[in-house]
Structure 1
C-alpha cells in the first residue's frame, strides 16, 4: 500500500522516539538555540486542549538531534507539523482509538521495549562491550578440566566437586602434565580425549567465566576453580596470539568418512589430487566446484562460505584458510573429518573499528552469558532504590514445599495445600506485599525440567530469587513515568504516532486506495501533468574482450538461451526406468537448481544402450520429469528429448540435462562463472539521462560496438517510443500520492474547525530568536 508521509508530522516524531529509545543513557549535543523559559506556558491550544512550550521544544529538539540533517526543519515549519499531529491525535482520542484493547496491548509492548533500555545500566553494557572488543584483538589457545556439578546442587555436592577440582589443581601446580590429568579426570566428553584441548578461540566463543579466566591468566598459567552452570573448571592457557581477523573462502569438498576403508580413502585422495592439478592448470575453480563438490549447500554458489573468525570451524580447515594470503590463491588439498577440501581465498578482513562493531557488541553482551552479570547488577541497584523486606519464616515454609516434581517441571501450586500459608505475605517491595500464592503460581508457570544433580530446595530458592528480581524490575518500570521525564516523553510520542497511523489509515490511506472514482477524477483533471518521456528499449553488453562479446552474442541468438551449465547425469541399470538410490543426490541437485533459478528451463535427454528395449529411454525421461513436477517444477519449464539408441555411446543408460534460461542475466552469470567479472548485461526501457552509453548514442533502432577503456560496450536499441501522456494505470502511483495529499488537507481543514487553533505568538517568537 502506498502511504505518503511527506506531510505527516508523526512520522518524524515517532521515528525520533524509537531512535532515542536505543540511546536513552547517552547524551547527544543539541544544536545551539534559544532555550525556552522554565514556566509551563501554553504555546498552542486546540479547542480546550493546551500544549506547553516545554513539550513542544523538547519534541523539536529530539527531531533535530536524531533526524537526517538534510531533512531538519526550522521551528516555524516544525510547529506546523506539530500542530497537525496534535490535531490528528485529538481526533483519535475523540473516536476512542486510545481505549481499544488492541491499542493498549500495542502500547504495553512498546512500553516494555522502552523500559528495557532504561532498566539496563548503560555504563555496564559499554564496559562489557569494550572488554569484549579488547579480547577480540587476541586469540587464545587453552585446555580445561571439568568436574560437573549442577549449579542448583545441594551445598554438600557443590563442595565435593570443588574439593575434587582443587585436588587436581594442586597436582597440576606440582608439575603433573595437565593434558594427562584432563584425560584422567575431566568429564568433558569432547575435549578430555584430546587432553582438554579447547583449540583457539576469541571473545564470545566460551561461556563468560571461562572466557574471563582464559584472558586473565598468563600463558602457561593455571586458573583457580572456575564456576559455570556446567560445574567447576580448571583452565590452562597454552598460547595467546594477535587476532588474525576474519577470512572468507570458497571450498570444494569430497566427502570421506573417517572410518572409510583404505581403498575408498585412496580413491578419494586420488580424485582430489586430480582436481587440484586441473585447477593448477587453469580450469575454473567455480565450475569444478559446481561439478564436483559434495557440499550441497555451497556448490551452486561457487563454494563460497560465510565470513568467519578463529574458533568457528575445524582447526585443520581454519589453519589452511588463514594460511592463504592473496585473494584468489588456492590451497593444497586439506583433510578434515568431513573429507578432503580445496580452498580458495575470497577475502581477508581485519577486525572492524570499535565504532563500527559497538552496536553489535552491545547487543551481544546483553544476550550471551554476560547478561547474568548485567541482571545481577540491575537487581543490586534496584534493591537499593526499592528495599525488599522478607518474611524468612514464611519463605522457609515455602521452600519446604519443593519436591522431586519440581525437577521434572511438573510441580503444582496446589501442592502447597495450606490456605493460610498461601495468603501470607512472602516479601514486600516499597510497601507492596507479595503473597505466597503469587509466588506459587509463578513457580508453576516458570518451572522447567532441570539437569541431573539439581536439588528441589535449591531450584525453589533460585525461582524465588528470580521472582523477587522480576518484581523489582516491575516496580521500577511502574515508576519510570515519574522518575524519567525523558521516558515519559518518548512514550507519549510513540502513543501519538500509533494513534496518528490508525487515523491516517482510516481517513487518508485506505480511502485513497479504494476510491477509484476519486482517483480517476483527479487523473482526468490533471492529465496533462502525467507525461511519459521519450524512451528506448535497449540492451547494453559490457565485455572484457571481443571473445567474451562473441560468446555472449552467440548464446543470445535465440530465446530461451542455452547456458554453459549442466547437471550430473543420472545413470540407470540395464532396462531399468527407476533411478537407483545412489543417484538421489544428483536428482536433488537438479531440483534445487530449478527451484532457485525461476527463469531456468531444462532439457531432459534419455538414451538406450544397445540391446535395451526401445521404450526404456522414454521411461527414464518420464521418471525424472515426474520427480521434478511432484516437487513443484512446472511442466512448462521442462523439455524432453529421447535419443533412444542414436545418442552418444558415452551417455547410454543415462538421462542427461542441459539448462536454458529466458533471462539474459543468466547468460552473464554463466560467462562470469567461467571467468569472473568478464561481462555485464543491462537491458530495459530507458529515458534520456538515465544511461550514459545510450545518451551518447543516436536514438534509433540499431546496434553498435565501441571501446570504453579496457572493455567493449555493445549498445543495441530495438525500439524508440516517442513522448506521450501516461495512461491512468501508468500514472496511478503518482495519482494516489497526490490524492492522499488532497484528502489529508481536507481532513485537517475539518479538524481545525472542530478544534480551533490558537497560537501563542509570543512564546513562539521566544524560541525563534
Structure 2
C-alpha cells in the first residue's frame, strides 16, 4: 500500500488553511549529511521528507514498511511540492502584508501546545475533572476580616477561628456554632450547611481544603478573599451527574403567620391527589403549582448538577431513582415542593467538559496561580537573575508616580541605566522598562504601587518572549509544523493563481484543450429513456397504466411526475434523458427493440419507456465543461511542474536519501 501521497496530504492541508497566510523560513541546514536535496540552490533537510511521509503513515495504522517504488513516488511528489514552494517564494508571495499579518495570529494558536502554560493548564484541567467525579457535603463558619484590616486585625480573626475550631474538635456542633459565630449571612438560615458541591463551585483554597478532608474531619483555618473558614466535611460520594425534574411549588408568605400551616395542608392534599392512578401530573401542575415560570410546561426545570440548586431541593431531586418517581413534599425557603424525576445522566466525558472547565479555571484564582508557576519555571529555565537592590531602589523612587509620569521621572532622576535583571546573559534596565510602558496602550490598576505592577508586567513579557524564541530555536516538532503550514499556504497561493483560478476563468484555454483532446470526451451509444423505479409496489398498476402503450415524450414525463411522483414522492424514483445504456445498471438489461418493458433489478421493479437511439460520438463542450475544467487544471499543473524543473536545478544527496528510506522503514 502506498502511504497517503504528499500531494493529497498537502491538498487537504491547504483546504483547512485556506484562510491563513503564514510566512517564515525556519529550516537551517544542519550540515551536508542532513541535506536531502537542493532546489535552485536552496537546501532541504531529509527530516522534512520523513516528517511529512510519517504523518501520512500514522494516519494508516495498518501500514507496515515502505517499498522502494513507494518511496521514490513519494520523493518525486515531495520534489514537485517543494518546487512550487520555491517558485512562490521567488514571486514574493510570502512577503505580502496580508500574508504576514495572518501568520502572526496563526502562529500564536500553533505555539500554544508547546508553552509551559499549556502543560500547567492541562494539569489543572485534569485535576478539576478528577475532583468532579466526587461530591462533598460540608458545613463552614466564616470569620470575615474588618474593612482595611491591619495585620493585628487579621491575627485577632485567626485566633477566633482557632478557638472555634477547638470547640468543634472537642465535640461542639459546627452548625449550631455557625449560627453564633459565622459572618456568612446565609448561616442564619442554613446553619452553615453548604449541601453537596463538587470541583469549581467554591473558591480554590476552600475547594482544596474540602477535598483534602475525610468525612468527620475539621480543617484548620482556611484563608480566602472572604476571610478565614473552618470547614467540616460530613460526606463524600460519587458524583451522580445531572438530573432533570419537574415540580409543583406551594409558596409561603413570610409576612402571613398562617401561611405556613395553609401551605403544608395544601401540599399534603396535592400529594394525596397525585397518588391516585387516574391523576395526570401535568394537569395537577397547571392547576396548583405557584411557580409561574414552569406551571404551563408541566413544571419542567432545566438540567442541573450538584451544587446548582438550594441543598434541600437538590438532595430531594438526586434521591429519586426511578423515572416518574415522585418525592414527598420538600420544604425550602421558597415554600413546599413536590418533585418528579424526568431524566438522569452521568457526568460528561472530559473531552466534552474540557472547554467549560478551562473557562471556569481561567476566571478564578487558579489562573493567577498558573501564571505564577509559569514565571517561576521560566526564571529557573532561562537563568533569570534579579538585581534586588536596584529594583527596590527604583520602587522607592517611583512608587508615587502614575504610568504617564514614570518615563519622565526616570529621566529626571537619572535612573535609566539602573539594572532590573539579567536573562540568558542579557541585562535589562529601567530604560527598557520605560520603552515597554510607552509602547503599551493599556493602563494598570494596582492596590500597591504602579511601578510594581508595570515591573511585573514587563518581566512577564520578557520571559514570554524568551520562551517563544526558545521554542522556535530548539523545538524541532514546532519547527516542522510551522514549516509545513508555511509551505502549504504558499502552495495554495501559487496553485490558486497558476492552476485553479486560471483553469476556471480561461475559457479560451478550456476550449482549446477540449479540441486538442476531443477523443477523451466521447459519448457511447445512447438511448432516450424514461425509467420509473417502483418503491411502493402497491402503486405499480397506476404507473403501468400511465406508461404502457405510450410513446416517450417530454409531455408524458412531465405529466407522470405531476400526477404521480409529486403527489406520492415515496412511491417512485425516476430517471430520464439521453442515457448511455451499455454500462447502465438497468438499461444494460433492457431489450432496446421494445419501447415499453419491465425489468427487475436490485430488488425493485423498473418500468422503462424507450425512444430514439443516438450513436456514439463526440460530446459538445457545454455537455462536459466541468470535466474539461478539471482536466485542464491537471494539465496546467503538469506544465507548471515541467517549467519549474527546468527553472530550478535539482540535486539529490544519495546518502541522505538512503538514510531517509531506512528511517521510514524502522
TM-score, structure 2 as length reference:
0.66
Q: Distance in 1 between matches of 2:118 and 2:202?
A: 23
Distance change >3 Å, CA 345–CA 53, structure 1 → 2: same
| 1:389 matched residue in structure 2 | 385
Deviation at 1:223, TM superposition (A): 2.1
Q: Distance in 2 between matches of 1:518 and 1:287?
A: 76
SS in 1 for 2:138: strand
| 2:46 matched residue in structure 1 | 53
SS in 1 for 2:305: coil
Deviation at 1:122, TM superposition (A): 6.9
| 2:421 matched residue in structure 1 | 427
Conserved? CA contact 1:165–1:232, under 8 Å: no
| 2:342 matched residue in structure 1 | 345
Provide Cα deviations, 1:248-289, integer angstroms capped at 9, x if missing partner: 426467797977988999699789959995996486969999
Distance change >3 Å, CA 685–CA 123, structure 1 → 2: same
SS in 2 for 1:51: strand
| 1:502 matched residue in structure 2 | 493
Distance change >3 Å, CA 742–CA 15, structure 1 → 2: closer
| 1:678 matched residue in structure 2 | none
| 1:651 matched residue in structure 2 | none
Q: CA RMSD in A?
A: 5.6
Q: Please point out which of 211, 214, 219 is paired with 1:223.
A: 219
More deviation, 209-218/55-64: 55-64
Distance change >3 Å, CA 130–CA 276, structure 1 → 2: farther
Deviation at 1:300, TM superposition (A): 8.7
Conserved? CA contact 1:40–1:53, under 8 Å: no
Q: Distance in 2 between matches of 1:186 and 1:215?
A: 21
SS in 1 for 2:373: helix
Provide Cα deviations, 1:127-185, integer angstroms capped at 9, x if missing partner: 545543442332111233445569xx99x735632541342222231245434554455
Conserved? CA contact 2:139–2:233, under 8 Å: yes
In the alignment, structure 1 residue 242 sits paired with structure 2 residue 233: no
Deviation at 1:523, TM superposition (A): 9.3
Deviation at 1:474, TM superposition (A): 1.5
SS in 2 for 1:238: strand
Conserved? CA contact 1:256–1:268, under 8 Å: no
More deviation, 209-218/74-83: 74-83
Q: Distance in 2 between matches of 1:523 and 1:316?
A: 79
Q: Please point out which of 648, 651, 663 is paired with 1:755.
A: 648
Q: Please point out which of 320, 325, 331 is paired with 1:324.
A: 320
Conserved? CA contact 2:535–2:604, under 8 Å: no
Deviation at 1:192, TM superposition (A): 6.8
Provide Cα deviations, 1:425-475, integer angstroms capped at 9, x if missing partner: 43332233334355455497554556xxx4x33x65355334323321211
Conserved? CA contact 1:222–1:234, under 8 Å: no
Q: Please point out which of 447, 467, 478 is paired with 2:458.
A: 467
Conserved? CA contact 1:38–1:54, under 8 Å: no
SS in 2 for 1:204: coil
| 1:564 matched residue in structure 2 | none
| 1:28 matched residue in structure 2 | none
Distance change >3 Å, CA 743–CA 328, structure 1 → 2: farther
The structure number with the bigger radius of gyration is: 2
Deviation at 1:310, TM superposition (A): 1.4
Q: What is the total number of aligned residue pairs between the two structures?
A: 565
SS in 1 for 2:309: coil
Conserved? CA contact 2:534–2:606, under 8 Å: no
| 2:37 matched residue in structure 1 | 44
Q: Distance in 2 between matches of 1:743 and 1:113?
A: 35
| 1:100 matched residue in structure 2 | 96
Distance change >3 Å, CA 301–CA 165, structure 1 → 2: same
| 1:10 matched residue in structure 2 | 10
Q: Distance in 2 between matches of 1:372 and 1:417?
A: 30
Distance change >3 Å, CA 250–CA 174, structure 1 → 2: closer
Distance change >3 Å, CA 251–CA 478, structure 1 → 2: same
Q: Which runs of no fewer than 5 residues in structure 2 stay unpaired?
A: 18-29, 537-568, 576-583, 586-600
Q: Distance in 1 between matches of 2:571 and 2:282?
A: 29
Matches within 5 A, 1:560-571: none
Distance change >3 Å, CA 333–CA 178, structure 1 → 2: closer
Distance change >3 Å, CA 329–CA 483, structure 1 → 2: same
Matches within 5 A, 1:401-480: 413=406, 416=409, 418-419=411-412, 420-422=414-416, 424-439=418-433, 442=437, 445=441, 447-449=443-445, 454=447, 456-457=448-449, 460-480=451-471
Q: Distance in 2 between matches of 1:331 and 1:482?
A: 64
Deviation at 1:373, TM superposition (A): 3.6
Conserved? CA contact 2:218–2:232, under 8 Å: yes
Q: Distance in 2 between matches of 1:248 and 1:351?
A: 12
Distance change >3 Å, CA 475–CA 735, structure 1 → 2: same
Conserved? CA contact 1:149–1:157, under 8 Å: no
| 1:659 matched residue in structure 2 | none
Q: Distance in 2 between matches of 1:97 and 1:299?
A: 63
| 2:480 matched residue in structure 1 | 489
Q: Please point out which of 347, 371, 379 is paired with 1:375.
A: 371
| 1:195 matched residue in structure 2 | 191
Conserved? CA contact 2:112–2:118, under 8 Å: no
Q: Distance in 2 between matches of 1:267 and 1:43?
A: 86
Q: Distance in 2 between matches of 1:100 and 1:349?
A: 52
| 1:173 matched residue in structure 2 | 166
SS in 2 for 1:325: coil
Distance change >3 Å, CA 43–CA 384, structure 1 → 2: same
Q: Which runs of no fewer than 5 residues in structure 1 stay unpaired?
A: 18-36, 541-680, 702-718
Conserved? CA contact 1:388–1:430, under 8 Å: yes
Provide Cα deviations, 1:206-264, integer angstroms capped at 9, x if missing partner: 23222111111232333233334x24332413322222331242646779797798899
